Structure 1
Amino acid sequence: MDKIQKNEQQWRELLTAKGAEPLAFAVTRQAATERPFSGRYEDHWAAGIYRCICCDAELFRSDTKFDAGCGWPSFFRTANPQAIEERVDRSHGMVRVETVCARCGAHLGHVFEDGPAPTGLRYCMNSASLNFEPL
């Protein structure tokens, strides 16, 4: 997979051209987090593909989405094991596993080991980092 690199201004322009929500830059490029229960995909259940808002990489499929009750869209499996990279995140006085798009480095959210079978994982994503493509 070819890595995509842009400077801050290029990312801002790209997200604006895509009509991304205002919080998308802060979330994807500065690792901000949207407020729980505020994202457009938190209570979204249509069939389709969730892609990276920055580079359109396929990240998740709707058949792996579940209601975790946490306030963010949650998935138990990635669409492709190589789509997401994991990094240790020691911010906010805790240790978590950050998830970023493997193609462009966009911050997506975090992954936790409290999800449902078959993986036991909960990929807790920011809606602002995603774009939905209906099937």
Structure 2
Amino acid sequence: MKKILILCICILTISCTGNAQKEVKKEKKEYAVSKTNKEWKEILTNEQYYILRQAGTERPFSSPLNKVYKAGTFYCAGCKTPLYESEHKFDSGTGWPSFDRAVKGNVSVDTDYKLGYARTELLCATCGGHLGHVFDDGPRETTGKRHCINGDALIFESKETK
């Protein structure tokens, strides 16, 4: 009986040190706009740097862009790439600006394991800035996706001001 117990403990120990303990290493991607941390800090506010360059998250309901529904475009605060059109924005009730789709080709995806499980992270395809995450609880009548975006990662330009 002792031998079976010891064998079970050994198998359990070995199985726990398998894939779950391996660190996930991200490939370093090259982006069209690339700057040093010092250069990013010179052009971004502290909040923008925290979100875009350190993959931070702003407090829900803290962004003035959460309730902006005027016709216009939301650009990357780091490199001014157009990311989202206001016609694809909706009120998700989560406290972050939410869109059902991005401007084609301007947002890339990666996998984020920071919370201990895989989430789909959204990045600016031009500078690699962290924008937020995508979830499958968006409007069913359109894409079914919810791009949950940090407002500090965005700059809004109204069509009226163009």
Shift of 1:93: 2.4
- Relative contact order (C-alpha < 8 Å, sep 6+): which is higher? 1
For residue 69 of structure 2, the aligned residue among 39, 45, 49 is 45
Aligned to 1:58: 82
Helix, strand or coil: the match of 2:43? Answer: helix
Helix, strand or coil: the match of 2:64? Answer: coil
Structure number with the higher helix fraction is 2
Q: How does 1:63-74 map to 2 (within 5 A)?
A: 63-74=87-98
Give the number of aligned pairs: 128
Q: Which amino acid aligns with 2:36?
A: N
Structure number with the higher strand fraction is 1
Stretches (4+) displaced over 6 A:
none
TM-score, normalising length: structure 1: 0.91
For structure 2, the residue ranges without an aligned partner over 5 or more in a row are 1-30
Shift of 1:14: 1.5
For residue 101 of structure 1, the aligned residue among 124, 143, 147 is 124
Distance 1:131 1:94 in 2: 30
Aligned to 2:12: none
Distance 1:77 1:96 in 2: 17
1:9 aligns with 2:32: no
- Note the alpha carbon deviations across 1:1-28, whole angstroms, 9 max, x for none: x71100001011122xxxx4x3110000
- Note the alpha carbon deviations across 1:98-132, whole angstroms, 9 max, x for none: 00000000000001111112211100000000000
Q: How does 1:15-26 map to 2 (within 5 A)?
A: 15=44, 20=45, 22-26=46-50
Shift of 1:94: 2.9
Q: Which amino acid aligns with 1:104?
A: C
For structure 1, the residue ranges without an aligned partner over 5 or more in a row are none
Q: What is the RMSD of the two structures over their aligned residues, measured on CA atoms?
A: 1.1
Distance 2:133 2:72 in 1: 21
Aligned to 1:33: 57
Aligned to 1:118: 142
